[in-house]
Amino acid sequence: MKYRVPRGTQDILPPESSVWRGVEEVARVLLERFGYSEIRTPVFEMKDLFLRTVGEETDIVQKEMYTFADRKGRELALRPEGTAPVIRSYVENSLWKDNRFLKLYYMGPMFRYDRPQKGRYRQFHQIGAEAVGSLSPAVDAEVIAMVEMILRAAGIRRLTVRINSLGEAESRANYTSALKDYFGAVRDRLCSDCNTRLERNPMRLLDCKVPSCRELAADIPPIEDYLSPESSEHYAQVQEKLAQLGVNYEKDKHMVRGLDYYTRTTFEFYHGELGGSVALGGGGRYDSLVEEIGGPDTPAIGFSLGTERVLLAAERDRQSARDVPRDRSMIYLAWIGEKAGEAAFRLAAALRLAVRVELELESRSLKAQFRQADKLGAGYVMIIGERELAEGKVQLKDLTSGGQRELTLAGLAEFIEQEIKSHRMDESPHGRIDRILGGQLDEALASLQF
C-alpha cells in the first residue's frame, strides 16, 4: 500500500519550509514590537467550548468541526480557530489578575472539514493575536494597522482592508429584526440552510456563499443604520483612528465574519489576485466572550491570518521562495583530497560555533560541490585543497558577486566577525522588516506634527 497525506493536508518541504519560517518570524518580531507575548494552547479542546463560543448555527460547528470521544466518553474537538482556546486559558488561569490589559499571540495548526482547494486546507495554519481588557477604539485601529504591517512585511503589496461594525446586543437585536422582515419577504428564494438560519440566527444569512442568496443580500439595509448611539460613536472613532494611522479601508455592510462571538468592530484583509471572497485573514471585537465562558466582564479584540493564504498572496506578488535571496550568512565548505577533507571536518565544527556551515561529506568533484552550494542557496563557498592545507589558508568565493579571495585562519575569523554576522543581521526577521518597512520611518516621522 502506498501511503499519502490525508486529503486536505500537505507536507511543507524545504525550501518552502524556510519561507514559512520567515513569515512566522517576521510576524513574531512585529507582534512583540507591539507588546504581545506568545501563548500556546492544546490542538484539541472540549467540544462544548466551540459550541458555546463559535455558535451552534455557524457552518464551522454544523459542517466543519473534527469531533471525537476519548476512551472515557468525553466529547472533544480539534480546534477550528484560535480565539476560543486563548480566552479559555485566560479565564482558567485568571490572567486578568496580574494584568488588566493583556496582549497575547499564537501560531499553529487549526482543523476544519472544508472542501480543499488552492489556499484552503483541512489542516491549516494561523497566526493570530488577542488584546484583552480594553474597549478603546484606538486598540481596534492599532490591531488593524498592525495586521497590515505584518502582511506588508511578509511581502504582500496589493492589500484591501474592509471594516464593519456589528454593534452590541441592542444593535444586533434591532438589526436581526430588520433582517427577518427583509428575508422573510423572499423566503421562498432562499436556500434550505438559509431558511433554517432565518429562524435561528438571521445574521448568518449574510455569510451564505450560495450565489442566489448573495444576490438577495445585496440590497439589505446596512447594519450601520441600526447601531445604538454608543456603538455608532465607537465605529466613528475607529475610522478616525485608522485615518490618523494612514490605513486605507473600505466599509462592507455584509461583513459579519463566520463566528457568532463578534461585537462592534469587524475587519478582513484581501489580496487583489486571490478574489474578493478569499480573505487572507481578519478579526474583530468580542466584548462578551470572556464573560460567556465564566470570566469577568472583559472587552477584547483579536485577529487571525491564514498562513497558507498569506504565502500564496506573497507568491502572487513575486515574493515566493524562488525570489528569496541567498543566505549570505551561510558557508558551504568544499574540499579536495583526503587530508583536506579531514581538516575541513574539524574546521566546520569550529565555524559552527558562530555561523551556519554546510560540509561536503561525499568526496565529490569540486564542480559538483559548487552545484550543491548553489542549490542550497549558500552565500559563500570555502575551498580547502592540498596547497591551502600546506599554507594554512582557505579560498573564499562569494556566490553573489563572483569575487574570490584568500584568507588565513586569523583573517577568516575577522571575516566572520565583520561580514558574516552583518549579513546574518540583514537576513534576520529584524533585517527583513527593516528592508521592507524601515525606509518609511523618515517619511512617517517627517509627517508628524505635535
Place of cell 520567515: 22
- Mean pLDDT score, 70-77: 97
Q: Using 50, 70 and 90 to split pLDDT, how confident is the model at 320?
A: very low
* Range from 126-130, 278-282, 360-364 that averages highest in pLDDT: 126-130
Question: Tell me, what DSSP letter sits at residue 402?
Answer: -
Query: Per residue in 26-56, pLDDT tens?
Result: 999 999 999 999 999 999 999 999 999 988 8
**Ramachandran angles phi, psi of 45, nearest 5°:** -135, 175
As a whole number, mean pLDDT of residues 8-25 equals: 92
| pLDDT value at residue 371 | 92
The pLDDT > 70 percentage for the chain reads: 92
CB-CB contact of 83 with 304 (8 Å): yes
Task: Quote the pLDDT of residue 319.
Answer: 45
Neighbours of 270 (CB within 10 A): 23
| pLDDT at residue 337 tops 80 | yes
Tell me what the pLDDT averaged over the chain comes to: 89
Going by their DSSP bridges, the two strands 300-306 and 123-132 should be labelled as antiparallel
Query: What are the cell numbers at 378?
Result: 549558500
Least confident among 12-16, 168-172, 269-273, 319-323:
319-323
Question: Domains of the chain, with CATH numbers?
Answer: 16-168+228-316 (3.30.930.10), 325-432 (3.40.50.800)
pLDDT tier at 391 (50, 70, 90 boundaries)? very high
Environment class of 271 (CB within 10 Å of its CB; exposed 0-12, middle 13-18, buried 19+): buried
pLDDT confidence of residue 322: 45
For residue 38, the surrounding DSSP H or E stretch is strand 37-38
Between 379 and 102, name the one with better pLDDT.
102
Q: What is the DSSP string of 131-177?
A: EES---HHHHHHHHHHHHHHHHHTT---EEEEEEE---HHHHHHHHH
Task: Look up residue 401 and give its three cell numbers.
Answer: 558577486
Is residue 313 predicted with pLDDT exceeding 60? yes
Query: Could you read off the pLDDT of 210-256 as tens digits, one per residue?
Result: 888 888 888 888 888 889 999 999 999 999 999 999 999 999 887 87
Mean pLDDT of 160-166: 94
User: Scanning the structure block, which residue is given the C-alpha cell 486536505?
Assistant: 8
Residue 434 has what DSSP assignment? I
- Residue of 293, 287, 303, 289 lying closest to 168 (CA atoms): 287
Peptide bond into 15 cis (omega under 30): yes
Q: What is the pLDDT of residue 310?
A: 94
Cell numbers for 323, please give them.
525570489
Banded pLDDT at 450 (limits 50, 70, 90): low
Sign of CA pseudo-dihedral 165, 169, 175, 176? positive
Residue 413: pLDDT over 80: yes
Segment 370-378 shows an average pLDDT of: 89
Angle formed by the axes of helices 169-184 and 192-200, nearest 10° = 140
CB atoms within 10 A of CB 289: 28
How far apart (Å, rounded) are the C-alpha atoms in residues 450 and 440? Answer: 19
Q: Are 286 and 128 in contact (CB under 8 A)?
A: no
Q: Could you give the residue ranges of the DSSP H alpha helices within 280-408?
A: 289-292, 307-316, 338-351, 366-376, 386-391
Residues 6+ apart with CB under 8 A from 171: 223, 226, 227, 228, 231
